Amino acid sequence: MENYIAKTAKSKILYEEAKNHLPYGVSSNYRYFDPYPLYLSRGKGSRVWDVDGNEYIDFNLGFGVLEVGHANEKIIEEVKNAISESSILGFEYSKSIELAKIIKSRFNVDMVRFSSTGTEATMHSIRIARAYTRKKKIIKFEGHYHGSHDQLLVNVNPLRDGIVPASLGVTEESLSNTIVCEWNNLENFEKIVKSSNDIAGVIMEPVAMNMGLIPTNVEFLKGVFELSKEYGFLTIFDETKTGGKMYSGASGYFNVRPDLIILGKAVAGGFPLSVIGGKREVMSVIGPGKTAHGGTFNSNPISVRVSILTLKEILTQNSINYIISLSKELEKGYNDLAEDLDIDLKVSRWGPSGSVFFSDKMPSNYKDFISTDIQRWNTYFYSMLSQGVIPMGGFNEEWTTSIAHTKEDIQIHLEKAEKSLRLAKEKKTDLKLEEAW
């Protein structure tokens, strides 16, 4: 922490000014951390620079957005071409059809609608599920995050049992049709399903990536799909994070076909675009006089053109294989360091992303996650920042590799991690997340 403060004097000055104009000095709560947030000025390739001029190898990548790397030259050129023909046209943009065809083929969906953010897309998806099934209740999983709209902003990071809103201003009435279940616990899920005849759908991150990266129990996932068919409710994959991490997302990886999927982040190469895709019979409930879906900036020309370029030419199967190979090197490196240093550390990875947990067991759900040693994680995180590596966005996030990262970047990351893990080992306090909060 002392090293972080010493290196980021201008960030502190900027924070003191910013907090007078922006609550906590940021435009998203997830960008704030103590004692003050890091203010970045630019990025290129695998690097970013802060307002003090410090250079960092970036493994946060806009919380998983920039698998194409910062300031990708192909995207810069495409944006120049797009904006010369207008940033927004009002009526439907002609190239939306081309992008829809690409997504249909790559992610095995019948129809799509475009929005701008993951929050919008998940909000619309649960409305679609209710419209299609004519039922009210939505099941979501503890520790999963689906954006900041009221019905799903519950039990994201609770510190007590029961239904726990993740924000002030979320009313009991808005949560009356939300059911919370424990991730990777099929018995719990089956009990909930059998106790209600009014379930419209279940929404999930198919790989949990908002309580660190927690591996998915495939038998659990299989059971969820079987129960959805048996009891007549929809399955919704929120692939805002996972969609760009495998060529066909988590649905392709697990070889399942959800009724609806949400895409965002990496699939648009750093520009605001989200996708609701699904089976034709489900998507057909959308339309004037039927189920509402709208947005002025939906399928804006810049985002659409960049997304077409990203999916066709940049995040190809070969590119995905490359960034996964880099992530595997990180995974192996952390496992080797844990063994060499004899430190309680568990490493999880899926595709180009992964997490480290300071624990003697791999978490399988949110309750396991909050029992990990947060004090050691904090020591590790600030040590990495002070050495010029952004390992991930926060304690509940994961690293992501990009096509701009190199094997040398991975080696530097692991060299800095060795020092950080040594410090973390010395700082053991057994302080759990719930105690820290």
Told to judge if 145 belongs to the known catalytic residues of this protein, a careful annotator would answer yes
Question: For residue 114, what is the enclosing H or E element?
Answer: strand 111-115
Residue 432's alpha-carbon distances to 321, 333, 368, 373, 377, in angstroms, are 36, 25, 11, 5, 10
Told to judge if 332 belongs to the known catalytic residues of this protein, a careful annotator would answer no
255, 245 Cβ separation under 8 angstroms:
no
HEC profile of 171-220: CCHHHCCEEEECCCCHHHHHHHHHCCCCEEEEEECCCECCCCCECCCHHH
Single out the residue of 241, 202, 217 nearest to residue 62, CA to CA.
241
Both tokens of 319, joined, read 């590119």
Query: What amino acid is encoded at 130 in this protein?
Result: R
Told to judge if 342 belongs to the known catalytic residues of this protein, a careful annotator would answer no
Candidates 56, 58, 132, 238; catalytic one: 238
Q: Is 391 exposed, middle or buried (0-12, 13-18, 19+ CB in 10 A)?
A: buried
DSSP-derived letter for residue 291 is B
Question: For residue 381, what is the enclosing H or E element?
Answer: helix 374-386
Residues β-bridged to residue 165 = 154
Pairing type for strands 274-278 and 346-350 reads unpaired
Helix (H, G, I), strand (E, B) or coil at 55: strand
Q: Is the peptide bond before 352 cis (omega within 30 degrees of 0)?
A: no
Candidates 93, 132, 145, 380; catalytic one: 145
Candidates 245, 265, 346, 425; catalytic one: 265
Long-range contacts, 328-332 (Cβ 8 Å, 24+): 329/407, 329/410, 330/354, 330/399, 330/401, 330/410, 330/413, 330/414
Question: For residue 115, what is the enclosing H or E element?
Answer: strand 111-115
Question: Known catalytic residues?
Answer: 145, 238, 265
